[in-house]
């Protein structure tokens, strides 16, 4: 176990606080549907950045940017469809005022485990997330539960902490009011939201089964690997895929 001076302990405490604030700002950007600013504000400039979900990963700056751009494009499309559906309430809004109307994605971060490297150049964090979101899809607005984990590698660059590799993997992603462990029963499509049927997210750079969703017959599935104290990034595992 490394021994630190008082000054080093203070510095490491400040690192942990900065990382907590970084993830808090990230979560608030998601709530506010501000995905178009997430990459530039919070992500590292490294060539091997990675954003992974249950079924696959976006690897490299262009791939990660393309995901956030798709989220932003979908938010704009949803706003236009809702404006057409509800002209009295939304008809007078400009494109900027309309942006973000409809989706509501709550990603509360709990049970943090944060480890800063001995050299203070990298860090790792794991959070449990009991979230919920309202998605506007082909059936209109539908509420979902989303329970899972954020597992993140951070790197210190340009005098601040940045996201380097992130996994957002879920155990539960289901329609509110329906069973977590049974196939979902989608609501019928509505013609006014038909354009969303053709909307596609970019293909994953790499398809991989990072985590199976919960079912009553799923084998015991542990959390993503929990960060442990380490000296340099070469001494630890990575959340990159």
Mean pLDDT of 38-51: 98
- Interval 65-110: pLDDT, tens: 999 999 999 999 999 999 999 999 999 999 999 999 999 999 999 9
CA dihedral 32, 34, 40, 44 (to 10 degrees): 60
Count of alpha carbons within 13 Å of 122, Cβ hemisphere only? 19
**The tokens 């595992």 sit on which residue?**
237
pLDDT reported for residue 3: 83
Q: Match 């590799």 to its residue by tokens.
A: 165
Query: CA 102, CA 135: separation in Å to the nearest integer?
Result: 8
pTM for the model stands at 0.94
- Report the CATH number of the 6-235 domain: 3.10.450.50
Domain boundaries, the chain: 6-235
Q: What is the pLDDT of residues 52-67, one digit of tens each?
A: 999 999 999 999 999 9
In this predicted structure, the answer to whether residue 138 has a pLDDT above a threshold of 80 is yes
Tell me which of 117 and 182 has the higher pLDDT.
Answer: 117
- Is the pLDDT at 1 greater than 80? The verdict is no
The mean of the pLDDT values for the chain is 96
178-222 pLDDT per residue, tens: 998 888 999 999 999 999 999 999 999 999 999 999 999 999 999
- 4-12 own/partner pairs: CB under 8 Å, 24+ apart: 11/120, 12/116, 12/120
By three-state DSSP, how is residue 227 classified?
coil
């Amino acid at each position: 176990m490394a021994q630190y001076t008082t000054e080093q302990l203070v510095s490491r405490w400040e690192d942990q606080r900065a990382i907590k604030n970084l993830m808090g700002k990230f979560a608030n950007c998601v709530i506010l549907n501000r995905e178009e600013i997430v990459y530039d504000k919070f992500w590292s400039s490294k060539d091997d950045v990675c954003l992974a979900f249950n079924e696959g990963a976006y690897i490299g700056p262009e791939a990660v940017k393309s995901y956030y751009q798709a989220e932003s494009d979908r938010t704009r499309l949803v706003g236009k469809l809702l404006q057409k559906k509800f002209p009295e309430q939304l008809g007078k809004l400009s494109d900027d005022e309309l942006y973000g109307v409809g989706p509501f994605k709550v990603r509360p971060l709990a049970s943090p485990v944060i480890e800063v490297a001995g050299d203070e150049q990298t860090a790792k964090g794991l959070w449990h997330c009991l979230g919920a979101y309202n998605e506007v899809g082909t059936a209109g607005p539908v509420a979902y539960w989303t329970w899972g984990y954020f597992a993140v590698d951070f790197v210190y660059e340009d005098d601040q902490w940045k996201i380097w590799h992130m996994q957002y993997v879920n155990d539960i992603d289901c329609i509110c009011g329906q069973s977590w462990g049974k196939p979902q029963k989608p609501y019928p499509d509505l013609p006014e939201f038909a354009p969303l049927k053709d909307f596609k997210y970019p293909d994953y750079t790499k398809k991989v089964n990072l985590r199976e969703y919960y079912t009553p017959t799923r084998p015991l599935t542990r959390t993503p690997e929990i960060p442990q104290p380490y000296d340099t990034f070469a001494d630890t595992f990575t959340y990159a895929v």
